[in-house]
C-alpha cells in the first residue's frame, strides 16, 4: 500500500471516528423522546395538573437547555482531567443515567409531588444539554477545518430523526401498556437512562482531543492562591467583555435576533394535546403513531433537503426560508380543522372514507387521521426551517470560542422554545379568567371564529392560530436584515458539501 493510500485510509478513519463523536449524542438525544408521550400523560393524570399548569411544567422541565452558554464557557475555559471536551462529554452522559434512574425510583415509590419531578427532569435534561454543547463545539471546530459544517449539521439531524421516530413510537406503545396496567411509569424512566451509557463509551474511544499537560508538581501553593485571587476581577470584567464581544460580533447579534423572531410564537402545545385527549379521543398509542411517523418524515425530509442543496448549490439559504414562510401562511387555514365539528362545511373539502380493507387504522376518527396527514406533510416541507439557522450559526461562530459561541445561539433557540411555551401558558390562563369574558364574546361573534363553538378552550385555541400567523409574518424583515449583513461581510453560507 503506497503512502497516499495510507493517508487516505487514515483520514477516512478519523472522519469515521469524528462522525461517531458528533452523531452518537444526537442519536441518544433522540432516544430521550421515549419519555415524551408518557410524561404528557404523567403530568395530566399522575400529577393531576390543569392545562396551564401542565404546559408550564412541560415547558420548564428543560431549563438546562437555556444554560448552554454556561456549559460552553465551562467547557472552553476549564479542563477536567486534562480535557476540555472528552471528560465533560463522558461525565455528563454518566450523570444522565443517574438522574433517569432517580426518576424511576421516585415513580416506583409512588411519589407524586410535581416539584420533585420538575427538579429531577431538569437535572436529566441538563446533562443532555451539556453533552450537546461539547458535541457542537467539536462539530464547529472540525467542521470549519474540513469545510463540512453544513454536511455535519445535516448528518447530526439525520441521526436525531431516526432516533426520534423509534423512541416516540416505543413511548406511545409503553403509554398504551401503562394505561392497560401492564407497565408501570417507572419503567419508562429506567429505560431512558440506558442510552446515555453509549454516549459515554463513544466519548472515551472516539473524541479527537489530546490530553493537556497538567500543572508542574513543584508548583507552589502561593501560585494556586494567586490564581484564585484573579477569579473575582475576572468575574467583574465579564459585563465589559460581553459588551466588547457584542460590538465585535455584529453578525452574531443579528443572527441572535433572527433566530429569536424566526422561532418565537406563543405556543399551546401541551394544552392542545390535552384538548385532543379530552375532546377528540386521542390516546398514548395514537400520539405514538403520529409522532413516530412524524419522526420518519423528518428523516426523509432531511434526505430530501440534503439532495436539493447538493444538486442545486445555487439555491441560496434566504430563498428557502422565504419559501418556508409562504408554506406556513398557506398552511394557516388547515390549523382550524382540529376544532371544527364534524358537520362544519369545511370538512366537505377534505374528508373522505376508505373501505375497511384498505384502511390500516379503521378505528381512528377524522381528527386523528387529519392530525397525522396534515402534520406529516407540513413537517416534511418545513425541515429547512430547522437546519438553515443551525448551518448559519456554524459558519458565523469563531473557532476560538467554539463551545460558548455555538452554544449561545443554540441555547437561544432552546430558550425561545421554552419562552414561547411559558408565554402561551400565561396567555391561555389570562384569556381563561372571567374578566376576559368580553374577549370571548367579541371573538365568538366575529368572522374569525370558524369553529363557532361555545367552549371557552376551543375559542382560545382558535385565537392562538391567529397569533401564530402574526409571528410567522414578523420573521420576514429579519431574514432580509441577516441576508444583507452576511453579504456585506462577505460570509458565504454553504448548505452542504457536494462530495460528502
Summarised one tens digit per residue, pLDDT across range 171-214 is: 999 999 998 999 999 999 999 999 999 999 988 887 776 776 65
174 φ/ψ sector (left φ>0, alpha ψ -120 to 50, else beta): alpha
3-state SS, residue 468: helix
Residue 325 falls within a domain, yes or no? yes
DSSP codes, 353-419: ---GGG-S-TT--HHHHHHHHHHHHHHHHHTHHHHHHHHHHHHHS-GGGHHHHHHHHHHHHHHHHHH
Mean pLDDT value across residues 462-485: 91
pTM of the model: 0.79
| Grid coordinates given for 360 | 390500516
Residue 172 falls within a domain, yes or no? yes
Reduced to 3 DSSP states, what percent helix, strand and coil does the chain have, rounded to the nearest 5?
Answer: 80, 0, 20
Residue 348 falls within a domain, yes or no? yes
Residue 500 falls within a domain, yes or no? no
Query: Could you tell me the residue range of the domain that residue 339 belongs to?
Result: 15-209+248-488
Mean pLDDT value across residues 212-234: 50
Residue 217 falls within a domain, yes or no? no
CB of 139 closer than 8 Å to CB of 394: yes
User: pLDDT by residue (tens digit) across 101-134?
Assistant: 999 999 999 999 999 999 999 999 999 989 988 8
Distance from C-alpha of 173 to C-alpha of 185, rounded to nearest angstrom: 12
Distance from C-alpha of 463 to C-alpha of 335, rounded to nearest angstrom: 11
Residue 453 falls within a domain, yes or no? yes
Residue 223 falls within a domain, yes or no? no
413-444: b (≥16 Cβ within 10 Å) or e: bbbbbbbbbbbbbebbbebbeeeeeeebeebb
CB of 182 closer than 8 Å to CB of 423: no
Mean pLDDT value across residues 152-167: 86
| Grid coordinates given for 477 | 424583515
Residue 231 falls within a domain, yes or no? no
Q: In terms of pLDDT, which residue wins out, 62 or 395?
A: 62
| Grid coordinates given for 24 | 452518537
Beta-bridged to residue 83, according to DSSP, are 80
C-alpha angle 195-197-199 in degrees, rounded to nearest 5: 85
Which candidate, 283, 281, 284, places its Cα nearest to that of 35?
A: 284
Percent of the chain with pLDDT over 70: 85
Q: What domain count does the chain have?
A: 1
pLDDT confidence tier of residue 91, bands split at 50, 70 and 90: very high
CATH number of the domain enclosing 200? 1.20.1250.20
pLDDT surpassing 80 at residue 218 = no
Identify the weakest region by mean pLDDT among 213-222, 287-296, 411-420: 213-222
How high is the mean pLDDT of the chain?
84
Percent of the chain with pLDDT over 90: 42
pLDDT surpassing 90 at residue 41 = yes
Amino acid at each position: 500500500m503506497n503512502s497516499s493510500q495510507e493517508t487516505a485510509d487514515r483520514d477516512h478513519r478519523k472522519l469515521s471516528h469524528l462522525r461517531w463523536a458528533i452523531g452518537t449524542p444526537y442519536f441518544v438525544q433522540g432516544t430521550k423522546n421515549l419519555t415524551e408521550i408518557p410524561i404528557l400523560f404523567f403530568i395530566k393524570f399522575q400529577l393531576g395538573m390543569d392545562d396551564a399548569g401542565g404546559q408550564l411544567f412541560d415547558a420548564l422541565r428543560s431549563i438546562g437547555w437555556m444554560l448552554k452558554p454556561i456549559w460552553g464557557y465551562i467547557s472552553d475555559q476549564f479542563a477536567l482531567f486534562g480535557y476540555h471536551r472528552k471528560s465533560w462529554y463522558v461525565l455528563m452522559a454518566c450523570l444522565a443515567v443517574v438522574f433517569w434512574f432517580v426518576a424511576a425510583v421516585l415513580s416506583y415509590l409512588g411519589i407524586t409531588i410535581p416539584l420533585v419531578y420538575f427538579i429531577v427532569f431538569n437535572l436529566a435534561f441538563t446533562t443532555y444539554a451539556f453533552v450537546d454543547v461539547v458535541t457542537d463545539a467539536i462539530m464547529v471546530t472540525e467542521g470549519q477545518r474540513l469545510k463540512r459544517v453544513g454536511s455535519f449539521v445535516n448528518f447530526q439531524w439525520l441521526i436525531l430523526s431516526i432516533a426520534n421516530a423509534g423512541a416516540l413510537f416505543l413511548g406511545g406503545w409503553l403509554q398504551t401498556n401503562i394505561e392497560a396496567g401492564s407497565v408501570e411509569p417507572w419503567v419508562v424512566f429506567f429505560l431512558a437512562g440506558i442510552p446515555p451509557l453509549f454516549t459515554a463509551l463513544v466519548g472515551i474511544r472516539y473524541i479527537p482531543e489530546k490530553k493537556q499537560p497538567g500543572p508542574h508538581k513543584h508548583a507552589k501553593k502561593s501560585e494556586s492562591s494567586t490564581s484564585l485571587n484573579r477569579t473575582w476581577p475576572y468575574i467583574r470584567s465579564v459585563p465589559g467583555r460581553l459588551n466588547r464581544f457584542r460590538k465585535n460580533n455584529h453578525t452574531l447579534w443579528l443572527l441572535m435576533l433572527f433566530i429569536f423572531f424566526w422561532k418565537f410564537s406563543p405556543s399551546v402545545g401541551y394544552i392542545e394535546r390535552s384538548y385532543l385527549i379530552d375532546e377528540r379521543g386521542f390516546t398514548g398509542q395514537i400520539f405514538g403513531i403520529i409522532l413516530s411517523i412524524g419522526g420518519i418524515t423528518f428523516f426523509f425530509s432531511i434526505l430530501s433537503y440534503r439532495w436539493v442543496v447538493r444538486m442545486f448549490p445555487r439555491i441560496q439559504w434566504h430563498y428557502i426560508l422565504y419559501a418556508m414562510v409562504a408554506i406556513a401562511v398557506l398552511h394557516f387555514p388547515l390549523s382550524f380543522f382540529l376544532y371544527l365539528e364534524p358537520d362544519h362545511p369545511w370538512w366537505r373539502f377534505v374528508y373522505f372514507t376508505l373501505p375497511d380493507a384498505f384502511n390500516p387504522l379503521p378505528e381512528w376518527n377524522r381528527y386523528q387521521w387529519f392530525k397525522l396527514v396534515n402534520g406529516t406533510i407540513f413537517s416534511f416541507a418545513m425541515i429547512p426551517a430547522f437546519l438553515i439557522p443551525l448551518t448559519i450559526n456554524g459558519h458565523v461562530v469563531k473557532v476560538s470560542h467554539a463551545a460558548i459561541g455555538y452554544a449561545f445561539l443554540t441555547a437561544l433557540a432552546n430558550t425561545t422554545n421554552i419562552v414561547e411555551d411559558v408565554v402561551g401558558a400565561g396567555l391561555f390562563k389570562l384569556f381563561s379568567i372571567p374578566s376576559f369574558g368580553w374577549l370571548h364574546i367579541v371573538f365568538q361573534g366575529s368572522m374569525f371564529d370558524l369553529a363557532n363553538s361555545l367552549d371557552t378552550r376551543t375559542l382560545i385555541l382558535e385565537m392562538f392560530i391567529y397569533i401564530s400567523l402574526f409571528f410567522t409574518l414578523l420573521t420576514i424583515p429579519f431574514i432580509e436584515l441577516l441576508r444583507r449583513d452576511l453579504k456585506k461581510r462577505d460570509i458565504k453560507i454553504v448548505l452542504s458539501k457536494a462530495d460528502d
